[in-house]
Amino acid sequence: MRLGIIFCLLFFTMNSFAQIDTTVSLVSKIDAFPQFELYDGNQIYMMGYTTTIGGAIKAPSPTLNFKEGDSVRIDMWNLSQGPPHTIHLHGLDVNQENDGVPALSFAVEHDDTGSYFFKVPHPGTYIYHCHETSVLHVQAGMYGLVIVRPQSADTLTWENGYSFHREYAWMTSEIDTNWHVDSIINHPHDTTATTHLILDYNPQHFLVNGMSEHQLDNSSAEIVGGEGETIYLRLANIGNYGNTYLFPAGLNAVVIASDGRPLPASFSADTLEVLPGERYGVLFEANSQFLDSIQVDYFSLNTQEVENTQYVNVDINGYVGVSEINIESRVLMYPNPASSVLNIEFENDEQESGFVRMTNMLGQNVLEQKFSGSKVALNINTLKSGMYTVQVICENRQWRQQLIIN
């Protein structure tokens, strides 16, 4: 009888473990020495979550990827010297006990561990961050993204939602380096919480995925995609400033989700404001090839003044479902740079018919001309100087090349 009870208990214990679909382990800690590198080469102290004890702290902390409906367990081990930490799941509908608001839930003391259990609700974009002395700890770097995808496919916004070819996620924040010094960031645990926060917040660094200025060039934040592809950009703002995004018109941006929920009606927008704590989902579908950038303005909520602007490159290239042949081997395009006439010649005097299309950096068509034969001359002297994409489109093949008009 007693043995039976033990077996029953064992069975139920094992069963309840089996019901966890995903387990995440996070270590909350503080840099032992300044090592988070800013674009100007300076290094500062950060607090953050890592997946390994020795892992360097990055901002944002690792993205947590979940599937809708999964049962999740997040284990946190607090290795910071001094202050307790929590994981608050911003925007996710989890119960109070597991929501990481210290007074309503629990905080994890130094050298202690704690676990959060929840069933993942709606697909969408969310934020996790520390809710202990949160003004300081969030500024210190204790934040990351939570991305919830539908069970059926990773390339679907939600069940029966939009499908996409590529996905990007940007988390914006700021850094005031005056807060990232040992005396402030390495503060002892203090139940009065904010009494040591004596500094005004005057950020000097404005980040997209922890990067700014030249750090963003050729970075993983850059939007690279093909003409005709659907690209999904997830946006989340964990800073204290508002963000205004300016999308190139050629991306045909459509806002489809807000704060982890599908919008009742999607809308086209070349600008979008994202306030602290907010998340948005934006779909792009470029129907031409271009190089441009998305502009991110950071504005103070007190003054509404834009205090900084960052640019992230956009490179729409290639084709979906159409084979691309290197233009240099099949057609000659000269001169380049050009100023009044652009000549296009097919190799070996091949006879072709089709049309030539030129698009500017915004992806707008500026010239389209039909041709047939082995040569075509384009009159381009009305076009402004700048970079253009020239496409030669024939019945069964097409070529493209960048052209500079001076």
| Interface contacts to Cu ion, rule CB under 5 A | 85, 130, 132, 137
For residue 385, the minimal CB distance to Cu ion (Å) is 53
CA 350: distance to chain centroid? 46
CB 175 within 8 A of CB 238: no
Residue number with CB closer to Cu ion (137 or 187): 137
Q: How far apart are CA 274 and CA 141, in angstroms?
A: 19
Dist CA 354 CA 288 (whole Å):
17
Alpha helices in 162-251 (DSSP H): 182-185
Nearer to Cu ion by Cβ, of 26 and 294: the residue is: 26
Task: Compute the least distance from the CB of residue 132 to Cu ion, in Å.
Answer: 4
The DSSP bridge partners found for residue 227 are: 319
| Chain residue at closest Cβ approach to Cu ion | 130
Which tokens hold the place of 389? 């994409």
> Min. distance of Cβ 262 from Cu ion in angstroms?
32
Which CB atom, from 85 or from 357, has the smaller least distance to Cu ion? Answer: 85
**Nearest distance from residue 134's CB to Cu ion, in Å?**
7
Closer to Cu ion by CB, 137 or 149: give it: 137
Q: Which residue has the tokens 């070819």?
A: 165
In the complex, the smallest distance separating the C-beta of residue 171 from Cu ion, rounded to whole angstroms, is 17
The half-sphere exposure of 167 on its side-chain side, counting CA atoms within 13 A, is: 16
CB of 137 to Cu ion, least distance (A): 3
Nearer to Cu ion, 26 or 130 (CB): 130
Cα→Cα distances 236→112, 194, 307, Å: 30, 25, 19
Kindly tell me which of 130 and 216 has the beta carbon lying closer to Cu ion: 130
Longest CA span, the chain: 97
